[in-house]
Structure 1
Amino acid sequence: MSAGPVRVGTRRSLLATTQASHVAALVREHLGRDTELVEITTDGDRSQADGTSFTELVGPGAGATGIFVGALREALREGRVDVAVHSLKDLPTEPAEGLVVAAVPPREDPRDVVVARDGLTLGELPAGSRVGTGSPRRAAQLHALGLGLEVVGLRGNIDTRIGTVHSGELDAVVLARAGLARIDRMAEVTEVLDPLQMLPAPGQGALAVECRADDPLATELAGLDDAASRAAVEAERAVLATLEGGCSAPVGALAEVVEGDDPDRPELWVRAVALSTDGGLSVRRSASGDVADATGVGVRLATEMLEDGAAHLDDPAPGDAPPP
């Protein structure tokens, strides 16, 4: 391990550099090491700049997971940075060869929020109001609420998205609370959505501190790990990974460490939903289990969802099937 500063790789956006600066501060505080931020441009950043849609990059139904990650991982493997900081929900669920998520620091509030004109909530928006999101998960759950809203595709950074409301182009946008909190924009929020209305993306609100598996720094970075946050996101990502093996439906999941019957043995409670693209069909399940078995709890929950039909939510109805 170099005696020089720990080079922290980050995307160039305000939110990404804010998140990386937070991790760098933890490194200085807990490891006593100097740090420097190294900005890396990712495919996801380039697509936002040139207007390429997520679907064009990753294919229909695949979601955006992973497109902000590759360039940072390449910089790690090539030794240009020592640590990469990701929004954990951006990480693909399959392991990355030669790399390890050394720490998941304490998680921000994972819920979604609304930024709407005139201080309105979703329920107060008139039918036909235009609500923007770039997330198939959010779009499907917005449709499922049955509020008669027009859901509009949306790209860009936080300023760009909120700007569509200020300009009158859209009546509201739905965003992750964590991002707004980290860049001190919570004053813009008109409603924090209850998970009963909208389950967040697996891993939303959490950061992943990734490094090379053979770097001694990995052991030191483990001191930044928050056990409850790690267990929750491992369960959520196990739900996603298991469902990805059987369906391409939009997925929301939220896990929480809660007090169990035995005060000395907390429990893990997980809720998840898979939806048809139009929100008309869904499979919702919850499960609880041992915190030490977070991945197992998530796998079992998702397996039950597949058995309940999560893999077939967007299948055509028998009468709609094309002729042979």
Structure 2
Amino acid sequence: MADTSTAPLRFGTRASTLAMTQARSVADALRRVGHDVELVEISTRGDQSTAPLASIGGTGVFVTALREALLDGRVDVAVHSLKDLPTAAADGLALAAVPHREDPRDVLCARDGLKLADLPSGARLGTGSPRREAQLRALGLGLDVVGVRGNVDTRLSKVSSGEVDGVVLARAGLARLGRLDEITEVLDPIQVLPAPGQGALAVECRAGDAGIADALRALDDPASRAGVTAERSLLAVLEAGCTAPVGAYAEAAEGESGLELYLRAVVASRDGAVSIRKSATGPIGRAEQLGRDLAQELLADGAGAVVDAAESAS
């Protein structure tokens, strides 16, 4: 067990600008309450390849190397984008904190300040996400959705160069990078639901490091944790990975009997021909069960076949 009273906490993070920014935000929060922190860059398979995520392993490609560094003692804490985490629990690790979640919605960054409805039929819209592709095609706008990979700068450069007319990104990443001015439209979840866990960070430590877990617990935001718990339990029941065409978004709001979660979800085919949407509301203390129950409703409407078809085509 690490001695948090003398040794700095070693935070493992991917080396991308966004990942480093996310890790620094968590590290700074701990420094403000008196902990010494240093960042340790870890290269992951997802960073080393420009191939589509599904072809290099899908779920976990940004996570495995960080978890290995945590388990073998090279780092004391790992900071992930929570949407990258597999839904299954990791042996020997604990999700110590889910800090306050950024706005999880998707956004459009398009040429000439255009919004989604302004793009002409046949306009090229870039995304590396099957979930986004499926929902964009389901809108029936006649857009040519093309695959793109790379960091935020790489994707935005494809717009400025004219390679694509626009790209769809997570608002949270642009907010953390101070680039909200690049957004031409924030997409309504009625049109495009975000990925389960999008906008949230996951802070992991070793399961036996009680001192570190206690230090990290101060960063945990209960409403954010409940929301992503509902979304990820839905994803787990669907047996779908982070690259599957599944969107989910749980919002906490005051209800008649206290704080409640309003959970919306979608499962759509890559071509947009099939789109199954459901929603449910329940007590925030039953977040996991809420996600499971809504997933069962989706499965009853044929979502399993849609997920299976998408994964077979990957």
Aligned length: 304
Q: Does 2:237 match 1:242?
A: yes
> Is the 2:14–2:20 Cα contact (8 Å) retained in structure 1?
yes
- 1:82 and 1:315 map into 2 onto residues whose CA distance is 37
Structure 2 partner of 1:8: 11
Of 303, 306, 310, 2:303 maps to 310
Q: CA deviation at 1:53?
A: 2.5
| Residue of 252, 255, 272 corresponding to 1:257 | 252
Check whether the contact 1:140–1:277 (CA below 8 A) recurs between aligned residues.
Answer: yes
Query: Cα–Cα, structure 1 residues 315 and 54, in superposed 2: closer, same or farther, change >3 Å?
Result: closer
Q: Does the 8 Å CA contact 2:245/2:307 hold for their aligned counterparts?
A: no
Instruction: Give the equivalent residue in structure 2 for 1:294.
Output: 287
Structure 1 counterpart of 2:70, from 76, 80, 92: 76
Q: Give secondary structure in 2 for the equivalent of 1:100.
A: strand
**TM-score normalised according to structure 1 size:** 0.91
Equivalent position SS for 2:238? helix
Answer whether contact 1:238 1:299 (CA < 8 A) is retained: yes
- What amino acid is aligned across from residue 254 of structure 1 in structure 2? Y
Q: Which residue of 2 aligns with 1:226?
A: 221
Whether contact under 8 Å (2:240, 2:307) holds in the other structure is: no
Are residues 1:19 and 2:12 paired? no
Aligned to 1:128: 122
- Counterpart contact for 1:249–1:310, Cα < 8 Å: no
What aligned pairs does 1:1-324 form with structure 2 within 5 A after superposition? 1-2=2-3, 3-30=6-33, 32-48=34-50, 52-58=51-57, 64-216=58-210, 217-244=212-239, 250-262=245-257, 265-313=258-306
Q: How big is each residue's C-alpha offset from its partner over 1:13-57, in whole Å with a ceiling of 9 and x where there is no partner?
A: 000000000000111123x11110000000000113xxx332321
Do the aligned partners of 1:102 and 1:209 also contact (CA within 8 Å) in 2?
Answer: yes
Distance (Å, rounded) in 2 between the aligned partners of 1:170 and 1:237: 32
Structure 1 portions without partners, runs of 5+: 59-63, 317-324
Q: Secondary structure at the match of 1:239?
A: helix
The structure showing larger relative contact order (alpha-carbon pairs under 8 Å, at least 6 residues apart) is 2
Once the two structures are overlaid, the 10-residue window that deviates more, 1-10 or 137-146, is 1-10
Asked if the contact 1:257–1:291 (Cα under 8 Å) also holds between the matched residues in 2, the reply is yes
Is the 1:249–1:277 contact (alpha carbons within 8 Å) kept by the matching residues of 2?
A: no
CA distance 1:230–1:315, shift in 2 (3 Å): closer
Going from structure 1 to structure 2, the CA distance change for 1:207 and 1:163 (only over 3 Å counts) comes to same
What is the TM-score of this pair, normalised by structure 2? 0.94
Change (3 A) 1:249 1:45: closer
**CA deviation after TM superposition for structure 1 residue 65, in Å:** 2.5
The separation in 2 between residues aligned to 1:269 and 1:286, in whole angstroms, is 7
- Closer, same or farther in 2 for the Cα pair 1:45/1:314, shift >3 Å? closer
Conserved in 1, the CA contact under 8 Å of 2:12 and 2:75? Answer: yes
Alignment partners' CA distance in 1, 2:306 and 2:44: 33
Aligned-partner SS, 1:196: coil
**What SS class does the counterpart of residue 272 from structure 1 fall into?**
strand
| Greater CA drift, 211-220 or 100-109 | 211-220
Identity %: 62
